[in-house]
Amino acid sequence: MARAPLSAIVGLGFSPLSREPAGSVRALAAAAVRAAMADAGVDQEQVDGLLLNPSALADPGVLPPKVQDDMGLRTLGMLTTIEGKGSSAVQMVQVATAAIRSGLASMVACVFADAPIGPARGGGASFSNEGSLTGIAGWDASYGLFGPVGSYALAARRYMALHGASPDHLGAYVLACRQWAAGNPLAFQRAPLTLAQYHASRMIVEPFHVLDCAYPVNGAAAVIVAGADRAADAGRRPVFVHGMGQGHASADTPVGPHDLATAGQLAGRKAYAMAGVGPKDVSMCQFYDAFSYCALAALEDYGLCGRGEAAGMVQDGTTAPGGALPVNTGGGQLSGYYLQGMTPLSEAVIQCRGDGGERQCAANDIVLVNGSGGRLEYHAALILSPHRTLA
């Protein structure tokens, strides 16, 4: 029996995205939600839920609930902030879906907004928080483990040692993303890139070059989630949510026999089961790839290949344009734009709608989206499709 979809994404909107100071987080969020409502063809009276996702590294209070007024959402039946680090944007769609299915709300705007680049502050300075791998407050910082880049570099280095992967493998993924970005008008880094240029780029924390790290921008993106039954009313082609899952476990808690396995495994299994599909059915992936290694880890944790096989998979072009499993088709967070979980989510919506222009892939039937945060500790995943039923 065909399963009914859980909900539908009926609108997508962006604020202006910029590498220059472009306004407050609150104003960016309002601009994105208004754009998403216009895209969905709905007005403020129809939206009765609002979910907010400020960056976990932003100052407290930059995205207050009062932002509902700036969006013209004078009365709401549901309003809260989701704090699951990099999994938050994907979690917003899940929470919206659950709220709609329970009757708490009927149409929910979900927005991520961030302004990491200020007049006197580059993007990198906003991402220099203390590490937390040991789990004892202040300990990691006392050894100079600053920024997510260091914690992820540790995971990447171990992966490379265990599986014989080289910097060329990370570089192959970076190049694949750059190739995708060339077809994305929203992408910030679209110039062709060679492996030699990758290797020559500035080293941040070995083994990561600057090109292995997300490209920060100021901006916001929003989606509108509605019940699947209401999707037919929407002006634009709806994107159906068929599966949802989360998984959370600290970096030191074993979640499998392999010591690099993360709770992404749990999120994936749950999402697949709910959608009635398996990893072999996935035709496209949109992953949270704040660092190049994240995509390799996700390919393995979400079962798209075996342990240690992701390095070879990216090197042989499987994830690149023309490959058998398109991954991060808008350039992802490295070459596209870093809007945390909204980067993979927005690209999934664009691809499901067939709005990808030069980069549009035919293989958009079953799209896996993930968001992850901490040091790959917090995961949320979605199975999206342009189809109301998955055959």
Partner 1 sequence: MQLPSDHFERRFLDFIAMRELRVPRLRGSGQILGYGSHGYGANPDDIEWIPASGRATLHSYAVYRQQYHPDFPPPYNVAHVELEEGPRLISRIVPDEGAAIVIGMPLRARFDPAGCLVFVPDPTPAT
Sequence-distant (≥ 6) Cβ neighbours of residue 136 within 8 angstroms: none
Is 203 a binder of partner 1 (CB under 8 A)? yes
Q: How far apart are CA 108 and CA 51, in angstroms?
A: 7
SS3 6: coil
Tokens of 48: 């009765």
Is 311 a binder of partner 1 (CB under 8 A)? no
Tokens of 218: 């100021």
Pairing, β 107-114 against β 378-385: unpaired
**Minimum gap (Å) between residue 123 Cβ and partner 1:** 13
Is 121 a binder of partner 1 (CB under 8 A)? no
Of residues 144 and 192, the one with the C-beta less far from partner 1: 144
Q: Taking contact as CB under 8 A, which single stretch among the options 28-36, 135-143, 169-177, 277-285 is the one that binds partner 1?
A: 135-143
Is 308 a binder of partner 1 (CB under 8 A)? no
Of residues 2 and 141, the one with the C-beta less far from partner 1: 141
Pairing, β 284-286 against β 219-226: unpaired
Q: What is the DSSP string of 122-138?
A: -TGGGG-PBP-SS-STT
**Minimum gap (Å) between residue 189 Cβ and partner 1:** 19
**Minimum gap (Å) between residue 169 Cβ and partner 1:** 16
Is 172 a binder of partner 1 (CB under 8 A)? no
Q: How far apart are CA 340 and CA 370, in angstroms?
A: 11
What φ, ψ does residue 116 adopt, rounded to 5°? -75, -20
Of residues 137 and 391, the one with the C-beta less far from partner 1: 137
Q: Taking contact as CB under 8 A, which single stretch among the options 83-91, 112-120, 133-141, 226-234 is the one that binds partner 1?
A: 133-141
Q: Please work out the total of residues on this chain that contact partner 1, with binding judged by CB under 8 A.
A: 36
- Window 139 to 168, contacts with partner 1 (CB under 8 A): 139-147, 150, 153-155, 157-158, 161-162
Q: How far apart are CA 372 and CA 366, in angstroms?
A: 20
Pairing, β 78-81 against β 49-54: parallel
- Window 222 to 261, contacts with partner 1 (CB under 8 A): 250-253
- State the burial class of residue 139 (Cβ atoms within 10 Å of its Cβ: 0-12, 13-18, 19+): middle
The binder of partner 1 chosen from 46, 134, 189, 201 (CB under 8 A) = 134
Tokens of 98: 């659950």
The binder of partner 1 chosen from 45, 118, 128, 278 (CB under 8 A) = 128
Q: Which residues of the shown chain bind partner 1 in the complex (CB under 8 A)?
A: 124, 128, 131-137, 139-147, 150, 153-155, 157-158, 161-162, 202-207, 250-253
